[in-house]
Amino acid sequence: MSTLKRVFGFDQLRPGQEAVISAVLAGRSAAAIFPTGSGKSLCYQLPALHLPHLTLVISPLLALMQDQLAFLHAHGIAAASIDSAQSREQSMEVMNRARSGELKILMISVERLKNERFRNFIAQVPISLLVVDEAHCISEWGHNFRPDYLKLPDYQRQFGIKQVLLLTATATPRVIADMREKFAIAEADVVTTGFYRPNLNLLVEPVPGGAKAQRLQQWLAPRRGQASIVYVTQQKTAEQVAECLARDGLAVSAYHAGMGHEVRESIQRRFMAGELECIVATIAFGMGIDKRDIRNVVHFDLPKSVENYSQEIGRAGRDGQASDCLVLASRDGLSVLENFVYGDTPELAGIRAVLDDLRAAGTGGQWELMLGQLSEHSNIRALPLKTLLVQLELRGIIAPRYAYFAEYRFKLLLEDEALLAQFEGERRQFVEAILACSKRARTWSTLDFDALYRQYGAERARVVKALDYFQEKGWLELESKQMTEVYVVLDGGFESETLAADLHAHFCAHEASEIGRIQAMLGLFESRECLSRRLALYFGDEQAPERCGHCSVCQGHVATLPQPPELPPLSGRDARALGAAFVEKHRQYAGHEPSHECLTRFLCGVTTPLFTKLKARQLAGFAALEEYPYAEVRGWLTASFV
């Protein structure tokens, strides 16, 4: 407790924190399931100061890392991150601090663990605790599932890390069970503090789509000067709504992933400093943002799920003061939300293309792939493709070996002879071999690993280690690209048609689960029982009061979400004419007409890797039917082309 006061300035721990911190300091793995803003981060920050070695934190977003690092630095704690925004020199400096034992906390993304150079480095550093932030990403049954998180239990064993701490604000009972099982956490060491926050007023107001902008202006008018976040689904909506509010004189900005990194950083800083009173954002904004006086969170469009809703309203009222969380509810954007889900289900033909590629390697063989190339070849988006690879792992067909950059190139900062003069004997011969097997352009040399191995028997790991060492010494500048993942094929004798159908069924089940998640959200917003209670029960918390007294239902306003304007029946459209430009372009490229599924995606505006290649957005008919339910368009096309 003396560290708590001396370093962090807190007199006492919040509910749940003491149990988690005690478990970690006693040498046990634990999980903290606390609502957003309830102090999960302290559960690793405080123990990190008492543990003998490094605490390694896996965090899914750069914004999360930056916010937590700013807090740690402000309290004089030796913490750093390695992330994509850094220069190579900055990364090397952080690695050196970790090696020397100077760092107490190192933050990385899970993808960093696929980097062979980083893995070589981290294997040399003793680690006391592995922390997984946003740990619900581990579960396929949670929202924001990230396939690479499934590999964390293997990494834990590989690096000999004895303890794990899982942190999340949004985990249903099913997801918690999944997390516990994957990391062997005792039930007693899963600490849940409940999801009910008495200072949040949950308000659902049915508003037809065309009237939402005006209602938002009215609602925010008496709240001028208060910090507010307005969440929207699409980037263009963020721009339009921000423009609309700016005309009312609000200090407001849009915020979305289409903006440059520096622009987003600047907007975030201005909001944190109080220069902007309102942000109109896609879900790209908010994770890890610890602004304690956000008084209003508005969902202009429907959130993606109950979990997303809970996470986003959790950014309001962290100072404990009453805050309003309003949903301007209608079914207008429902098709757009569902289209995101349908677009992530691979076509059966795409799954078969991956299996054919894998099968060519044969049992016991090595299967090498570049995700971008395989995504383009199979027409499967990157995230579902990663999920497909994980499913193949879970079925015992492949096992990950390592990932490496296919290409390394370097620029010598001293003459060849000066570099060779640093070494003697066998080591000098080894460096000579590296130089001899490097194809030199004007200033950059590209390394030929195959030639190095054939002619000199030089192992790749040793070469990469040597190049890193040369860079540390300032003898060369190093660049790497084309991430290649290497798997060993454990079982290449599968029956392709059967396995493809099985995997496709898995994705279809996940699709149905995600559509069900959207329906659960609609059920929450149209609930006749207390919204606070209903939300808590979704996450398995039965401690919330029967009636909170301050949600829209408790105030006597049960919402019925208005239907979108009725669309003309599809039966009156000409399917062949609508898709003609795309069908012709597809035929020229692939030699055959697109499947009904592929054409459905084109007409509903659901992007795929193939569409990017064909520049489909520029073709007549793209997104012509985006307002219609995807399943309805698919059924109509199938009937039209019989």
Residue pLDDT, tens place only, 380-437: 998 899 999 988 987 889 987 777 777 888 999 999 999 999 999 999 999 999 999 9
The 10s digit of each residue's pLDDT in 299-335 is: 999 998 998 899 899 899 989 999 999 999 998 878 8
In percent, how much of the chain has pLDDT > 90? 57
Assign 191 to helix, strand or coil. Answer: strand
The 10s digit of each residue's pLDDT in 220-237 is: 999 999 999 999 988 999
Which residues make Cβ contacts (< 8 Å) with residue 528, sequence separation at least 6? 553, 558
Which residues make Cβ contacts (< 8 Å) with residue 620, sequence separation at least 6? 580, 581
Report residue 162 as tokens: 């004895």
Residue 50 DSSP class: T
Model pLDDT, residue 394 = 79
Nearest of 206, 251, 265 to residue 70 by alpha carbon: 265
Report residue 588 as tokens: 């020229």
Model pLDDT, residue 33 = 93
The 10s digit of each residue's pLDDT in 141-195 is: 776 778 888 889 988 998 999 999 999 988 888 899 999 999 999 999 999 988 8
Instruction: Please tell me which residue, 127 or 405, carries the higher pLDDT value.
Output: 127
Q: Report angle CA 593, 596, 601 to the nearest 5 degrees.
A: 105
Q: Can you tell me the mean pLDDT for 38-45?
A: 88
d(CA 638, CA 597): 9
CA atoms in the 13 A half-sphere facing the CB of 377? 15
Counted residue by residue, the chain has a size of 642
Report residue 120 as tokens: 């070589």
Model pLDDT, residue 103 = 95
d(CA 202, CA 317): 12
Could you tell me how far CA 379 lies from the centroid of its own chain?
21
Instruction: Please tell me which residue, 483 or 377, carries the higher pLDDT value.
Output: 377
Burial, 566: exposed, middle or buried (Cβ in 10 Å; 0-12, 13-18, 19+)?
A: exposed
The 10s digit of each residue's pLDDT in 80-90 is: 999 876 777 78
Model pLDDT, residue 642 = 57
Report residue 289 as tokens: 């943002």
Model pLDDT, residue 96 = 92
pLDDT for residue 354 is more than 90? yes
Assign 317 to helix, strand or coil. Answer: coil
Model pLDDT, residue 270 = 93
Residue 58: band (very low, low, confident or very high) from pLDDT cuts 50, 70, 90: very high
Q: Can you tell me the mean pLDDT for 292-296?
A: 94
Model pLDDT, residue 63 = 64
d(CA 518, CA 306): 8
d(CA 310, CA 36): 8
d(CA 409, CA 416): 15
Nearest of 136, 119, 230, 222 to residue 178 by alpha carbon: 136
d(CA 412, CA 417): 11
Residue 623 zone, left/alpha/beta (φ > 0; ψ -120 to 50; rest): left
- Could you give the C-alpha distances from 588 to 397, 404, 579, 581, 598, in angstroms and in order? 35, 35, 14, 11, 15
pLDDT for residue 499 is more than 90? yes
Q: Which of 6-10, 173-177, 580-584 has the lowest mean pLDDT?
A: 6-10
Nearest of 337, 341, 331, 334 to residue 526 by alpha carbon: 331
Burial, 41: exposed, middle or buried (Cβ in 10 Å; 0-12, 13-18, 19+)?
A: buried
Nearest of 308, 288, 291, 287 to residue 299 by alpha carbon: 308
Residue 35: band (very low, low, confident or very high) from pLDDT cuts 50, 70, 90: confident
The 10s digit of each residue's pLDDT in 250-276 is: 999 999 988 887 888 899 889 999 999
The mean predicted confidence, pLDDT, of the chain is: 90
pLDDT for residue 287 is more than 60? no
Model pLDDT, residue 327 = 98
Model pLDDT, residue 289 = 66
- Could you give the C-alpha distances from 40 to 30, 169, 173, 284, 543, in angstroms and in order? 12, 8, 19, 21, 20
3-state SS of 409-438? EEEECCCHHHHHCCCCHHHHHHHHHHHHCE
Tell me the pairing of strands 227-231 and 278-281.
parallel
Q: Could you give the angle at which helices 449-456 and 460-472 cross, rounded to 10 degrees?
A: 120
Domains assigned to the chain: 2-192 (3.40.50.300), 200-330+514-538 (3.40.50.300), 570-640 (no CATH)
Q: Can you tell me the mean pLDDT for 616-623?
A: 93
Amino acid at 424: E
d(CA 563, CA 523): 14
Phi, psi of 636 (to 5 degrees): -65, -45
Q: Can you tell me the mean pLDDT for 614-624?
A: 93
Q: Are 272 and 291 in contact (CB under 8 A)?
A: yes
Burial, 441: exposed, middle or buried (Cβ in 10 Å; 0-12, 13-18, 19+)?
A: exposed
Residue 1: band (very low, low, confident or very high) from pLDDT cuts 50, 70, 90: low
Amino acid at 175: V
